[in-house]
Amino acid sequence: MAERTTTPSFPGAAALRQTGRLYGLGLDVVRLTFRRPFQLRELIQQFWFIASVSILPTALVSIPFGAVIALHIGSLTTQIGAQSFTGAASVLAIIQQASPIVTALLVAGAGGSAVCADLGSRTIREEIDAMEVLGVSPVQRLIVPRVLAAMGVAIFLNGMVSVVGVLGGYFFNVIMQHGTPGAYLASFSALAQLPDLWISEIKAVIFGFVAGVVAAYRGLNPKGGPKGVGDAVNQSVVITFLLLFVLNLVLTTVYLQLVPPKGS
């Protein structure tokens, strides 16, 4: 009788395996993006779907985000006698930090959860296995268009959040805190620079990619039938949020080290 061999395990081995598989899926998405045939119709449909479920919540969330930042910074600058820098601090905080974070959270929470549920239902119905048997790559056919759609929606929503957040911050600072409109705009133009906008869009692209890949990975690996699909959706949102905050810290640190502040 042959002896049964078991794979040696250690604490955290399962987490490392899951991380490796997630990383491998991300590499497959990048590699298959440039392979023909490109699923343009699927990309357009997924772009419209993710945008339709994300645009309204993102617009509604961006207003209080901009207001809270403007009110807090306005109160702080008033206490230290630096009211002339309120506009620059508020706008830069919204563009560099709040806008990509809000965009990523809504894309992951609304669009990513829907993508995960769709792929999870296909998986438990064995549609993914059937595609592999027929020689059709599910990554190229289903996942690549969804990840690219999430990235595209993140770029456009990031711009919308930036505009709405800046306008909301201007309104609350000028109207509610009796700030000076000219000083608000002058301080922003004096301290802001074009790389501030670029890093915001770069964050949006990376966050959209991460949200799409995590949602697709959890959708392809549900456990326990329909209940497992619901659990996979919850896990995808939580995992995406954790990764986004870590990536935001890394990207912000690298940006502040490479790009000197304006006027320094």
Q: How far apart, in Å, are the Cα atoms of 227 and each of 116, 147, 175, 222, 223? A: 13, 24, 50, 9, 8
* Residue predicted with more confidence, 245 or 92: 245
In a domain, 27, yes or no: no
Does any domain span residue 115? yes
Q: CA quadruple 18, 45, 34, 134: dihedral positive or negative?
A: positive
Between the CA of residue 181 and those of 78, 169, 214, what are the distances in Å? 15, 11, 43
Higher pLDDT, 85 or 125: 125
Domain carrying residue 126:
54-256
Domain-embedded: residue 49? no
**224-260 pLDDT tens trace:** 777 788 888 888 888 888 899 899 999 989 988 888 7
Q: What is the CB neighbour count within 10 angstroms for residue 37?
A: 7
User: What is the rounded CA–CA span in Å between residue 83 and residue 180?
Assistant: 9
Q: What is the model's pLDDT at position 147? A: 93
Position 108 in a domain: yes
Between CA 151 and CA 46 the distance in angstroms is 11
Q: What is the mean pLDDT of residues 10-23?
A: 77
d(C-alpha 152, C-alpha 107), whole Å: 11
Predicted TM-score of the model (pTM): 0.86
Tokens of 223: 């456990």
Average pLDDT score over the chain = 82
Place of tokens 């592999």: 132
| Tokens linked to 69 | 């930042």
- Residue 1 is predicted with a pLDDT of 39
How far CA 38 is from CA of 27, 141, 183, in Å, comes to 17, 8, 50
Confidence (pLDDT) at 222: 84
Q: What pLDDT was estimated at residue 10?
A: 62
pLDDT at 3: 42
Beta carbons of 29 and 139 less than 8 angstroms apart: yes
Residue that wins the pLDDT comparison between 33 and 263: 33
Distance, C-alpha 158 to centroid of its chain: 9
Specify if 220 maps to a domain: yes
What pLDDT does 22 receive? 85
For the chain, how many structural domains are there in total?
1
Q: Has residue 10 been placed in a domain? A: no
Q: Closest Cα partner for 191 from 98, 101, 63, 96?
A: 96
How far apart (Å, rounded) are the C-alpha atoms in residues 147 and 138? Answer: 13
| Mean pLDDT in residue range 88-112 | 83
- Of 29-38, 74-83, 96-105, 211-220, least confident by mean pLDDT is 74-83
Tens of pLDDT, residue by residue over 190-236, are 677 788 888 889 999 999 999 999 999 998 888 877 778 888 888 88
Is 50 exceeded by the pLDDT of residue 99?
yes
